[in-house]
Structure 1
Amino acid sequence: MVHLKILMVGAGGIGGYYAAKLAEAGHEVTLTARGEHLNALKLNGLVVDYASRQTFRHSLPAYSHKELVDSCQARDFDVVIVSLKSTATKEVFAELAEWLQAAKTPVLSLQNGVDNEPLIAEIIGEERVIGGLAVRIGGHILKPGHVVAEGAAEIVMGAWPLKEMNDPRSQVVDQLSREFNAAGIPTGVSDNIRYELWRKLLINNGVNPLSALTRLDTRSLTHHPEFRHVVVGMMNETLDAAKADGVDLTREDLEEMFDLISSFNAIKTSMLVDREKGHPLELDSIAGAVLRRCESMGVEAPYTRLVCALLNHGL
């Protein structure tokens, strides 16, 4: 086993869980966070409750982004994993741009949406970007320093936007996959990660905005006699939008993703949790990504547009 030096940028519900699993396996993990969550991580360490069965406790180095830049260098790490809310990607990468550009460390994004990797590539170059997605996991910060998570918590990753012939990122991706699997994180590798990101957006756009609007969990939405049709409608609109990025999703993709989310645990989506806590919603990076691409092709997206309008008006 190789002991990796890992920076987790954004140690919230998803990042906190993966950080704890990787630390449990003996990897050197450093965290970034902000506010009271950061203060608690520094004082008491990271606590992660997983599926009401396991509790992980780790005292890990934790920094604000300014403290990170002042205390560490990007080349100190084997990989930078980004698990930020997509609403923060642009701001945080502007803060870390010079710091990241001074090294060649690969960056793995584990975020919602399909627009994070392009933003990261603008800062550090496409040749260092690894796209990724967290699948079948629900997680959020219960209180500062304390994260709860559930689900199979799988990861899919790959060179973004596609694996090229003799792609130098392949070696990094394969090593990360091996170490993640050895740490108990089921991880697969894709040669077409953009396709996988759009498949996940089928679920994200299908349930996240609607759950924030209705305040219903995923199981309630997908089993409701009326709302399930809205979920499928928003997934259909995502399927249409993918064509603008040259990704040909099929009806089989939609049905597979609907079956996945409808059979998964009844969870609050991250967007619903954010609304309950009064935090900014990832609406633009999920539904907005669909609307922008549909508009570019002259395709209507009435379900997504209506749910967005209702959320934007505070209903």
Structure 2
Amino acid sequence: MLRLLMVGAGGIGGYYAARLLDAGHEVVLTARGAHLSALRENGLTVRYGAREMVSQPDVVDHQQLVFRYQPDDFDVILIALKATATASVANELGAWLGQGRSPVLSLQNGVDNEPLLAEAIGANRVFGGLAIRIGGHIVAPGIIEAEGVAQIVMGRWPKTGDRPDSRDELLQRLAAGFNESGIPTSLSDNIRYELWRKLVINNGVNPLSALTGLDTRSLTHHPEFAKVVYGMMAETVVASRADQVNLTQKDLDEMFELISNFNAIKTSMLIDREKGRPMELESIAGAVLRRCEAMGVQAPYTFLVNALLRASENRAGLR
């Protein structure tokens, strides 16, 4: 049995927590506001296709977490918050995390979460991770709907070294526990490479979907917008050179084919815009633009879409 802390009980964290709880693992969740109140009162309900998973986990806010638990009460601490919250969470929980040795596994969008966590608690305690082919959203406080294969890829940050590491045994345990819980999980010896491949997809469809209101399939099969998607993905491949990841044309074409054949889903950025919430622009488009600027190269597709979305946030008073 695994003992886990899921920091963030939104669409992604809530879905994975429900799977793990249903399989008999111990999972403590963090949440806030109306979602926190509903989870405490009615439990967690996750709808996935024709299946409905209902559980009664312990749910706390960050203040209660620090008061009631120690980091080493958990085998692993998972973070499934918006990437825009990583810096503030590292600051808010950094002293608490520093009291223990349990690894922290990020399941967030972008390529900047692991470096932030490594700076806060040390790279030897950071696992990189990504959720693939999953759409998950809170449809009402305490209720989540999810779809997709919902895979996880994880590994030591930033990649596995030549020497065996004590963390490898824990990663194997995690992967086994996740797979047995119905979460298809694999381990990577170069997780930074995997994170950049996912960013290729995220930058290709997330900002443009928020701008146009179209789902992923509509974008990738549109006669004009498909070219913009491909262009933004190509700019992400170029940006990867700044991190010495050096994605290739093969990576670009594989990621475009993957998202083109995926279910028609509303991206998280589109849903955030519809609900009037800040979007993960800095973590997705911003990550690409910062690196391209540092290398002195242009990213015109990403620059334009990002600028239009920033302007919309400014008009809405979200910046």
Q: TM-score, normalised by structure 2?
A: 0.97
Which letter maps to 1:237? Answer: E
Unaligned stretches of 5+ residues in structure 1: none
Which residues in structure 2 correspond to 1:1-315 (within 5 Å)? 3-51=1-49, 53-164=50-161, 165-314=163-312
CA positional deviation for 1:172: 1.4
Residues 137-170 of structure 1: CA distance to partner in whole angstroms, max 9, x if unpaired? 0011001100000000000000010111222321
Q: How far does residue 70 in structure 1 lie from its aligned partner after superposition?
A: 1.0
SS at match of 1:284: coil
**Structure 2 CA distance for aligned equivalents of residues 211 and 65 of structure 1:** 32
Identity %: 64
Q: Work out the CA distance in 1 between the residues paired with 2:128 and 2:20.
A: 19
Q: Matches of 1:114 and 1:286 in 2, distance apart? A: 8
d(CA) in 2 for partners of 1:159 and 1:295? 29
Other structure's SS at 2:186 match: strand
User: Greater CA deviation, 175-184 or 161-170?
Assistant: 161-170
Moved over 3 A (4+): none
Question: RMSD over aligned Cα, in angstroms?
Answer: 0.8
1:35 and 1:253 map into 2 onto residues whose CA distance is: 40
2:240 aligned partner, one-letter code: A
In the aligned structure 2, how far is the partner of 1:26 from the partner of 1:54? Answer: 17
* Deviation (angstroms), 1:279: 1.0
Query: 1:131 aligns to what SS in structure 2?
Result: strand
Deviations 1:212-234 (A, max 9, x none): 00010000000000000000000
Return the letter of the residue paired with 1:212.
A
> Using the alignment, how far apart are the partners of 2:236 and 2:217 within structure 1?
20
Task: String of CA shifts for 1:198-251, please: whole Å, max 9, x gaps.
Answer: 000000000000000001000000000000000000000000000000001111
Partners of 2:83 and 2:282 lie apart in 1 by 9
Measure, in 2, the Cα distance between the counterparts of 1:118 and 1:258.
27
Q: What SS is found at the alignment partner of 2:219?
A: helix
Q: Residue 84 of structure 1 aligns to which amino acid in structure 2?
A: L
Q: Measure, in 1, the Cα distance between the counterparts of 2:184 and 2:146.
A: 15
Q: Secondary structure at the match of 1:170?
A: helix
Q: Structure 2 counterpart of 1:44, which letter? A: N
Show CA shifts across 1:269-308 (max 9, x none): 0000111111110000000000000001001000000000
Distance (whole Å) between structure 1 residues aligned to residue 165 and residue 226 of structure 2: 41
